[in-house]
C-alpha cells in the first residue's frame, strides 16, 4: 500500500500554465500520475498538452473528478489558491509546493483547514510526495525511487532525495516518501505522517529526516515512543550550523537549547530511533534494522 497518493489519484495543478507548474505537472504525468486538469483564472476553456484548463478548482473537480490539488501559485496568491482547493468539494489532498508564502498567510490557511475542511495539506515549501510505481505529486525525481516497504518523511527537500537514493542503492524500496517542508506553519507534521505509516501494513520501517528549529522532531519522538511499532531510522541536519546565522528554512529557528540538532537527536534516540550522523549512512542503518526485524520474526 501507499499513503496519501496512489493509482486512484486524479491530479489538478493550480498554475499548470506557468513554467514551473507546466514542467513538474507534465513530469508527474510522464511518471504515471493521472493529471486530469489545470487551473489558471482567465484561461478556462483552453487546454495545455491535452489537459483541460479551468478557471476554478471546483469547476475542474466537477468536470474531471479531480481529487488531489497541487499548488504552483506565486507566494502572494498561494494562500488563496490553497483555500480555494480546500473549499472545493471532492479534493481530498492538497500539495503546496510554493516557497516563500508569508507566515501569517500560512497560519490563516492552517486555521481554516483545521476548523473547516480538514483536507490534508502537504507543505507549503515542500517537494511533495511520491508512492513509487504508483503516483508522483511534486518535484521528487522518480528516477531515484523504487517500490518497497520503507516510508520516508522529511522536513528537507534535498535530504529527502538523498535518503531515497541511499535506500534505492541498497535495494530498499519505498512505500511513500513525504516531504512536509520546513516552514514555520506546516500543513502536515511528522506525527501526521507517522500515524499513516503505522496504519499501513506494507510499510515495515520508517526514515525520518529532521533539522534544526522548532519542536517537530521532539513531538515525533513522543509519538514514536508511545505509538509506533515499526523501526525508525533518523537523521538530524544542522549540527554544524553557526550560531546566530540565518539558515535556509524559515522554520529553522533555535531558541536557547530548544530546537538544536543535539536536543533533537537525544529525544529521538531516547524514543528508540537509530539516529545516524551522516545521511550517506541511512541506507546501511535501514538495512541493518530490517535484518534484525526479519530475524526476530
Residue 98: partners with Cβ closer than 8 Å, 6 or more residues away:
71, 72, 73, 74, 75, 78, 123, 124, 125
Phi, psi (rounded to 5 degrees) for 295: -70, -25
Q: Return the SS3 of 266.
A: helix
| Rounded-to-integer distance, Cα 5 and Cα 249, Å | 26
Phi, psi (rounded to 5 degrees) for 229: -95, -5
Q: What is the CA radius of gyration of the chain?
A: 19
Query: Which stretches does DSSP call E strand in 55-154?
Result: 68-71, 93-96, 121-122, 128-131, 135-138, 147-154
| Rounded-to-integer distance, Cα 65 and Cα 83, Å | 19
Q: Return the SS3 of 234.
A: strand
| Rounded-to-integer distance, Cα 179 and Cα 127, Å | 6
Which residues are catalytic, by number? 249
Q: Return the SS3 of 255.
A: strand
Query: How many Cβ atoms are within 10 Å of 104's Cβ, its own excluded?
Result: 10
Query: How many Cβ atoms are within 10 Å of 239's Cβ, its own excluded?
Result: 12
C-alpha cell recorded at residue 30: 510522464
| 95: nearest Cα among 188, 192, 2, 158 | 188
Amino acid at each position: 500500500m501507499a499513503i496519501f497518493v496512489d493509482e486512484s489519484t486524479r491530479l489538478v495543478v493550480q498554475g499548470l500554465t506557468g513554467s514551473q507548474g507546466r514542467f513538474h505537472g507534465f513530469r508527474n504525468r510522464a511518471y504515471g500520475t493521472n493529471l486530469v486538469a489545470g487551473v489558471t483564472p482567465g484561461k478556462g476553456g483552453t487546454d495545455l498538452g491535452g489537459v483541460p484548463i479551468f478557471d476554478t478548482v471546483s469547476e475542474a473537480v466537477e468536470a474531471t473528478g479531480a481529487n488531489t490539488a497541487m499548488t504552483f501559485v506565486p507566494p502572494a496568491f498561494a494562500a488563496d489558491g490553497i483555500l480555494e482547493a480546500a473549499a472545493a468539494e471532492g479534493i481530498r489532498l492538497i500539495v503546496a509546493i510554493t516557497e516563500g508564502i508569508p507566515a501569517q498567510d500560512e497560519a490563516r490557511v492552517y486555521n481554516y483547514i483545521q476548523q473547516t475542511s480538514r483536507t490534508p495539506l502537504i507543505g507549503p515549501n515542500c517537494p511533495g510526495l511520491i508512492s513509487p510505481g504508483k503516483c508522483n505529486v511534486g518535484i521528487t525525481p522518480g528516477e531515484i525511487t523504487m517500490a518497497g516497504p520503507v516510508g520516508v518523511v522529511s522536513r528537507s527537500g534535498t535530504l529527502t532525495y538523498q535518503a531515497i537514493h541511499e535506500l534505492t542503492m541498497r535495494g530498499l524500496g519505498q512505500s511513500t516518501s513525504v516531504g512536509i517542508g520546513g516552514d514555520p506553519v506546516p500543513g502536515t507534521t511528522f506525527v501526521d505522517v507517522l500515524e499513516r505509516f503505522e496504519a499501513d501494513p506494507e510499510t515495515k520501517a520508517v526514515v525520518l529526516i529532521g533539522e534544526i528549529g522548532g519542536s517537530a522532531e521532539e513531538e515525533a519522538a513522543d509519538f514514536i515512543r508511545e505509538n509506533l511499532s515499526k523501526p525508525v531510522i533518523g537523521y538530524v541536519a544542522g549540527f554544524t550550523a553557526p550560531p546566530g546565522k540565518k539558515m535556509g528554512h524559515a522554520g529553522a529557528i533555535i531558541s536557547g537549547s530548544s530546537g538544536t540538532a543535539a536536543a533533537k537527536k537525544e529525544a529521538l534516540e531516547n524514543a528508540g530511533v537509530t539516529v545516524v550522523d551522516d545521511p550517506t549512512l541511512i541506507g546501511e542503518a535501514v538495512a541493518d534494522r530490517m535484518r534484525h526485524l526479519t530475524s526476530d520474526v
